[in-house]
Amino acid sequence: MIEAEALSRHYGDLTAVDRISFEVDVGEVVGLLGPNGAGKTTILKMLTGFLEPTSGWIRVDGLEMARQRRAIQQRIGYLPENCPIYPDMTVIDYLDFQATLHGIAAQHRPQAVRSAIERASLKEKALAPVATLSRGYRQRTGVAQAILHHPRLVVLDEPTNGLDPSQIREMRALIRSLAEHAAVVVSTHILQEVQAVCDRVLMIRQGQLALDTKLDELGGTPRLLVTLDANPRDALPVLRNLDGVANVEAIQPDALGHRYVVEASDDAGGLAPALARCVHEAGFALYALEPETRDLETLFADINTKH
């Protein structure tokens, strides 16, 4: 559905996005995750045709952004980070106006507006002026305008901003339902939102793609964390010679002793008893032995603390 190849965007000497490539298919909810200023919003603006890349190309639904931008934008539903909505309109009037801009025929507009209001849980505010809405309801109104025309690609920039816990749950359910017929890209800096709604994460760091992985594959290769009294010169040959060990690396020591990451060739849990026996037979003191936790929070912290 979406193909982005070597996307870059420069502002003078500043490189906001640096040669990022990825694809997103219909049925996927992909989280664009990174700290503030990482380049997420710039990527979204390029994906939606509001900003031209300095280099690279984008294809959506088989169409090339550089040549067929208008046709692509008709297939996109976009919620910007600060959704521009008109304060003097009621919610229903605003959505009817947006339906006109989306090119929905007059006879189909009432049904399109009614459906968007229901899906975004806006029934009780349908006749309220936008100026009277809370931040959460304004956000939901922005989502409603993005899905009026049943887009093939839905792009949401910080969709849960300003929502209370119950509204967040409703928004997550809505995002998951959108993926039944569309590709969905959600930009956020909140780890919990990615874990709650996304199938896959693209982690952005300083304008570069630092990680592209499915959430159910975050664990990666099974590894054990081992703390010994033995220094790397003595310990590494012993640990690497053990059956079932694919690789061993020395990491930063702690107050207990020297620490190692042991990568198992198969089952890290099954390797642990053999590793303990090996350490004992070698005459080393074993201070700690535990499986390494590799969740999204750990990866995010690791990537964003690298220099």
pTM confidence score: 0.75
What is the pLDDT, as a whole number, of residue 158? 87
Residues in the chain, total: 307
What is the pLDDT, as a whole number, of residue 166? 85
* Sites in the chain below the pLDDT cut of 50: 307
The span from the CA of 117 to the CA of 94, in Å, is 11
Q: Is 7 helix (H, G, I), strand (E, B) or coil?
A: strand
CA atoms within 13 A on the CB side of 86: 12
Contact 177, 119 (CB under 8 A): yes
> DSSP labels for 82-99?
S----TTSBHHHHHHHHH
What domains appear along the chain, each with residue ranges and CATH number?
Answer: 2-216 (3.40.50.300), 223-304 (3.30.70)
Contact 222, 272 (CB under 8 A): no
What is the pLDDT, as a whole number, of residue 36? 84
Give CA torsion, residues 48, 53, 59, 61, to 10 deg.
0
Quick one: which H or E segment has residue 194?
Answer: helix 191-197
Q: Say which DSSP state 15 is in.
A: E
Which residue in the block uniquely carries the two structure tokens 């959460």? 136
